[in-house]
Amino acid sequence: MVKPSIIAIDGPAASGKSTLGERLAQRIGYLYFDTGILYRAVTLAALQKFGRVDQEEEVSILSEVVNIDVRPPSLADGRNADVCIDGVDVTWDIRTPEVDANVSQISAYPRVRRAMTLQQRRIGQRGGVVMVGRDIGTVVFPEAGLKIYLIATVEERARRRFHEITARGDTADFKRILAALRKRDAYDSGRKLAPLKPAEDAIILDSEGLSIDQVVERALELVEKA
Ligand code: CDP
């Protein structure tokens, strides 16, 4: 079987892209790369440096110089990669509600997107990669051999995020999660540059009511057919 060299998985927040991407990559021996990590890391770096994210010029410059490193996991604490900013481990710090609440604003800045897109192309250009994000099939790798657009209702996605947080031992408020997801979806879909939307040749995969194993099997069928 000749597999597509680049597999793009896009979709809204908490649609299960990361879990699918990771398992699919493992099954076919590909590298898995979650591009949300980069936008989250820039957001955290900006919050640490400026305490806010609304200064577009400063944040843009920061995104061009900040040193974000994504490496295989060094700890078995549920992480699927080590994420470091300038050598400091920030793997869990990029997953806080504060980063969640600010990441979409930063992701709309054109220079930030340009800097992140360049990094993503560098990582993916050798092929053998499952890349996950919002604009992989539309902007980063429009030539990807397989594009999956993963969807589920916002309520289902909020339930998944709720379980993800409580499984880590943290407390979570379902209504707040739901509201935050709705807000981020609106922001991501409404931005001018690289908005969240399926590529014209993307295959829509609706994960509603499917187990993660069923979603992975469905994706494997798509890899075979691609
Ligand atoms: O895991 P979750 O679906 O909540 O989000 P994520 O994939 O970690 O992405 C966090 C945010 O980064 C998104 O809400 C987008 O604003 C932005 N993002 C983007 O603009 N383009 C990408 N390729 C990936 C993420």
pLDDT at 164: 87
Atom in ligand 1 nearest the alpha carbon of residue 43: 12
The vertex-215 CA angle with 213 and 219, nearest 5°, equals 115
Residue 220 tokens read as 């494997």
For a pocket test of ligand 1, which of 177, 188, 191 has the largest count of ligand atoms closer than 8 A to its C-beta?
188
Atom 16 of ligand 1: nearest residue by CA position: 104
Q: Residue 42: pLDDT band by 50, 70, 90 thresholds? A: very high
Atom 13 of ligand 1: nearest residue by CA position: 104
Q: Which CATH class is domain 6-152+202-220?
A: alpha beta
Q: Over 90: is that where the pLDDT of 57 sits?
A: yes
Q: CA nearest 179: which of 195, 157, 198?
A: 157
Decide: 181 and 13 in contact? Cβ < 8 Å. yes
3-state helix, strand, coil in the chain (%, to 5): 50, 15, 35
Count other Cβ atoms within 10 Å, centred on residue 21: 28
Look over the chain and give the mean of its residue pLDDT values, rounded to a whole number. 95
Question: What pLDDT digit, counting tens, does each position of 163-174 carry?
Answer: 988 988 889 999
This prediction has a pTM of 0.93
How does DSSP assign 118-157, residue by residue? HHHHHHHTTS-EEEEESSIIIII-TT-SEEEEEE--HHHH
pLDDT at 166: 93
Q: Residue 182: pLDDT band by 50, 70, 90 thresholds? A: very high
CA dist list (Å): 145 to 30, 131, 225: 14, 12, 11
- Report residues whose beta carbon is within 6 angstroms of any ligand 1 atom: 13-14, 18, 35-36, 39-40, 103-104, 107, 133-135, 184, 188
- Read off the pLDDT of each residue in 149-163 and give the average, rounded to a whole number: 95
pLDDT at 209: 87
Q: Over 90: is that where the pLDDT of 1 sits?
A: no
Q: So where are the chain's domains?
A: 6-152+202-220
Atom 2 of ligand 1: nearest residue by CA position: 13
Cα of 133 vs centre of ligand 1, distance in Å, is 6
Which strands make up the sheet holding 146-151, listed edge to edge?
31-34, 129-133, 6-10, 146-151, 203-206
Least confident of 15-19, 53-57, 139-143: 15-19
